[in-house]
Structure 1
Amino acid sequence: MTPPAPRIDSLDVIRGVAVMGILVANLPAFGLPEAAYFSPLAWGGSAGWDRFAWFATYVLVEGKMRGLFSMLFGASMLLVVDRARAAGDSPAGIHYARMATLFAIGCAHLYLIWWGDILSHYALVGAIAFVFVALPVRPLVWLAFLFVAVQAVIGAETTLAAFAAAARNTPAKVETWTLIASVFGQPPRADLLGEVAAMRGGIGPGIVWRWAHATSPFALLPLVGAETLGYMLIGMAGLKSGFLTGRWSRGRYAWIALVAIGATLPIDMLLAFASIVHGFDQRWIVLGSVGAATVLRPLTFTGYAALLMLTMRPAGWLTTRIAAAGRAAFTNYLGTTILMTFVFDGWGLGLFGALPRATLYLFVLPVWAVMLAWSRPWLARYRFGPLEWGWRTIARLEVQPWQR
């Protein structure tokens, strides 16, 4: 039995924070109709504590945790390639087998369990990102800026289309306004009630609804693929430069965290206030979540990563627990989906659409506690999380070592 590859603690900690933060971001998508993820007007309440919950999630979490996760995905890709090369395996063969397996798992997750899957999208973008793994740091950074800029142009076009369609004085503008409302505003009440009935109806109706309404991985690729690819390249550059492995000075990390977070979060707060002042008009939701966010988000999650590099304590109780949750992030991500869909969907407790937005966040601490409680004891005995082991076994077509 070969010994497990050495871990980079900082990557595990950041990945653990990301998977815990993704739970916070995804709770409205687990418990409310799809449009409510962006717009409080769609479902779940838009006043009082519900408004505050939306505001805090938008400013601190929305898109930022996905950015961290994407960045770590890119960094981890480099580690897999390097270890394959060191073992005498084909890096391309190992990588594309992993991406093909991940795509299949992601599609099953998307259509059988939950519409918000990101794994299948990562698999497609990861297949593209492999082309860039041999590049040095500087070209990776410039290419990341380029792809994020492409996404910014797409976001600007979407935002301008939303404002231009507000007049609804032509059939084309009515169609555009209605399409944008289905994601960022108030869809027709009948559509919302149909989604609620499907999610409360059990496994079969939920699958039928997702098959008809969920965005396919291939359709998602041109919408946000450039952004995701840019984030993965940032992760590659972060690993090669030592930013993600703790090789930079504490002063440099502090400066990045202060400037990046200090510059972007106040703007996010202003955008959130603008949405509230304009009554959550979908034009302002699009501006905040698509138009401006595309530019702000990379700075924010890079600042978060720098802050984590400053605050983590490698031997500390909490740090080691979070690192273990990050080592088993694949299991924690999919396990969270299963747990939350049991709470909200009809095959479980059937609470979909029944709770106000603010109440959803009462699940955060208990689920975090589960992540932190099981991950470290499990990994003290086993080499991988259970689903990490399954992913590795299927991708390599060989049963992988299980126990330490």
Structure 2
Amino acid sequence: MTDQLVASRSRVHDVDALRGFALSGIFIVNITFMASGYPGNLAIDPAYVSILDDVVRGLSEVFVDMKFYLLFSFLFGYSFTLQMESAAAARAAFEPRMLRRIGGLFVIGVLHSVFLYAGDVLTTYAVACLVLFWMRRVGDRTALRVAAILYGLVVASLLLGAVFMDVSALLPSSTEAQANAERATQAMLGSWGDVIGVHLDSLGLLVLQSLTLQGPTALAMLLLGMVAGRRRSLADVHRDEPILRRIQLVGFPIGLAGSVLFAIGGGVGHILAVAVSLATAPFLSAAYIATLLRAMHSPRTSFIRTALAPAGRIALTNYLTQSAIGLLIFTGIGLGAAGTFSPLATVSTALIVFTLQLALSAIWLRWFRYGPAEWILRWITNAHRPAWRTALPTTALASDESMKAARISRWRDKGRTSS
């Protein structure tokens, strides 16, 4: 029983740490859109065209862009199975709990996209999770087939579009893109009403992107995550697992090759480059997971899990906080620094903010059970107000977690016996 408790607790911390890692990459991508109107208009700010600026943008395209939302989606699907287990352990009906959770997440996402950051992904996750909820009883093979079909259709549509469509005719000219980007940057420096207006103007593009690209691919990864959660793929992980090494050996060459082609091909402004990146990004995301798992289970680098897990445990709060910080730094509501940060300064700001979040998340969880956003979402999910502050010491918290893990383990054993 002790081994089962340790494994279960390790699994939860692994998922939290991976989620924290994904959060860092998502912020590096998001902050570029928060800092200037140029990326959103597929234009490069003429003030930042030095070799160093190009190198920083290139490194982001190779190692970060279009990878981390896939990783986060996979973990979202994995956590879906943990929610099912938690409901079973609490002897509560899963269906109303999850539907309330999805609804709460959607509302939070809408508020986030209107008031904080137009590039919200929570609404996309909420809609995709609703489909996942509907498909929760399908077998693993069916889930994997649907995931492959969804992902393949998106990649195929992009490739067909690159071959048979004149995409340039649908996009503004370089001069128009530069003018639109400058206007967007200036609009970011306005009042709260102006900023909200910019966000509202972006909702149409956000919905279109969610329906055609991000939504289907996110759902595919959610399905993969659900299957992995059912099989407890992130439980009982050891550093020298052969499968982790194989994932690295395959994932890094394919994923990095696709990322390099994506960067050379012009990034998100070119449909063929996007198709290549999308086709290969899951390989790099998987290699990231394998590498981080191996590092977290190595005695010399296990501190990585300790550092990342708290931030991942309150990922929703940290995600919303990142947007609020971006709003205060770059828009006229705060410092009004839009358009004044180079690519290096922008990425450095993201890393500094995330490092602070790592420290603050660990401190916060010493005194509170949940982050503020998690507390609200849990209230909505369970339909009653959860305890906010804990007076339990660290050892007692660990004991409480062990008891919860024991309940889940007993539920699993009971399910196996009955089947």
Q: Normalising TM by the smaller chain, what interval?
A: 0.7 to 0.9
- 1:350 partnered with 2:319: no
Q: Does the 8 A contact of 1:121 with 1:220 survive in 2?
A: no
Check if 1:130 corresponds to 2:133: yes
Aligned twin of 1:268: 259
For residues 140 and 286 of structure 2, the distance between their equivalents in structure 1, rounded to whole angstroms, comes to 16
Q: Does 1:381 align with 2:381?
A: no
Aligned equivalent of 2:12: 8
Distance 1:109 1:48 in 2: 35
How many Å apart are 1:43 and its aligned residue? 5.9
Q: Aligned residue for 2:351? A: 365
Whether 1:293 and 2:277 are equivalent positions in the alignment is yes
1:42 and 1:186 in contact (8 A); partners too: no
**Cα contact 1:246–1:309 (8 A) shared by 2:** no
Deviation at 1:142, TM superposition (A): 2.3
Match of 1:339 in 2: 325
Return the match for 2:242 from 206, 230, 251: 251
Q: Secondary structure at the match of 2:171?
A: helix
CA drift of 1:39 comes to 4.1
Which residue in the other structure is 1:302 paired with?
Answer: 286
* Unaligned segments of structure 1, at least 5 residues: 167-173
Q: Is the Cα contact below 8 Å between 2:70 and 2:217 reproduced in 1?
A: no
Match of 2:117 among 114, 118, 124: 114
Identity %: 25
Give the match for residue 392 of structure 1: 378
1:193 matched to 2:182? The reply is yes
Measured at CA, do residues 209 and 333 of structure 1 come closer, stay the same or move farther in structure 2, by a change above 3 Å?
A: same
AA aligned opposite 2:203: A
What TM-score do the two structures reach when normalised by structure 2? 0.83
Structure 2 letter corresponding to 1:373 = A
**Distance across 2 between alignment mates of 1:337 and 1:158:** 33
CA–CA distance in 1 between the matches of 2:103 and 2:259?
Answer: 37
Whether 1:59 aligns to 2:62 is yes
1:177 alignment partner AA: L
Q: How far off is 1:208 after superposition?
A: 1.2
Task: Measure the CA separation in 2 of the matches of 1:395 and 1:43.
Answer: 47
Distance 1:313 1:208, change over 3 A: same
Task: Report how many residues are paired.
Answer: 378
Of 195, 198, 222, which residue of structure 1 is paired with 2:211?
A: 222
Report what 1:150 is aligned to.
Answer: 153
Q: Which amino acid aligns with 1:20?
A: S
Q: Does 1:210 align with 2:199?
A: yes
Give the drift of 1:24: 1.3
Of 14, 33, 39, 1:29 maps to 33
Query: Is this contact kept in 2: 1:25–1:62, CA < 8 A?
Result: yes
Sort the Cα spacing of 1:138 and 1:158 in 2 relative to 1 into closer, same or farther, 3 A: same
- The residue type paired with residue 120 of structure 1 is T
User: Which amino acid counterpart does residue 249 of structure 2 have in structure 1?
Assistant: L
Distance 1:267-1:165 versus aligned 2 partners, 3 A rule: closer
Q: Offset at 1:266?
A: 2.2
Alpha-carbon distance, 1:207 to partner:
0.6
SS in 1 for 2:234: helix
Task: Note if contact 1:11-1:245 (Cα within 8 Å) is conserved in structure 2.
Answer: no
| Cα separation, 1, equivalents of 2:381 and 2:112 | 17
Deviations 1:106-155 (A, max 9, x none): 01110111111101111111111112223343332222211111211232
Question: In structure 2, what residue type is equivalent to 1:95?
Answer: M
- Structure 1 residues 292-335: Cα deviation after superposition (integer angstroms, max 9, x where no partner): 12211122211211111111148843321201111011111111
Deviations 1:206-248, CA, capped at 9 Å, x for gaps: 1112212333664444212211100111111222233222447
Q: Counterpart of 2:123 in structure 1: which amino acid?
A: S
Question: Residue 177 of structure 1 aligns with which residue?
Answer: 171
- Kindly provide the CA deviation profile for residues 16-37 of structure 1, in whole angstroms up to 9, marking residues without a partner as x: 100111111222111011x515
Cα distance in 1 between the residues matched to 2:145 and 2:104: 30
Instruction: Decide which of 300, 305, 315 is 1:329's aligned counterpart.
Output: 315
Flag the 1:159–1:358 CA change in 2: closer, same or farther, 3 A. farther
Shift in Å at residue 339 of structure 1? 0.8
Report the RMSD for the aligned CA atoms in angstroms.
2.4
Note the alpha carbon deviations across 1:250-304, whole angstroms, 9 max, x for none: 12111112211122202321332343xxxx794xx3322x211221112221121
**Shift in alpha-carbon separation, 1:216–1:384, aligned structure 2, 3 A:** farther
1:377 partner SS: helix
Deviations 1:314-367 (A, max 9, x none): 884332120111101111111111111111011000011122222212213321
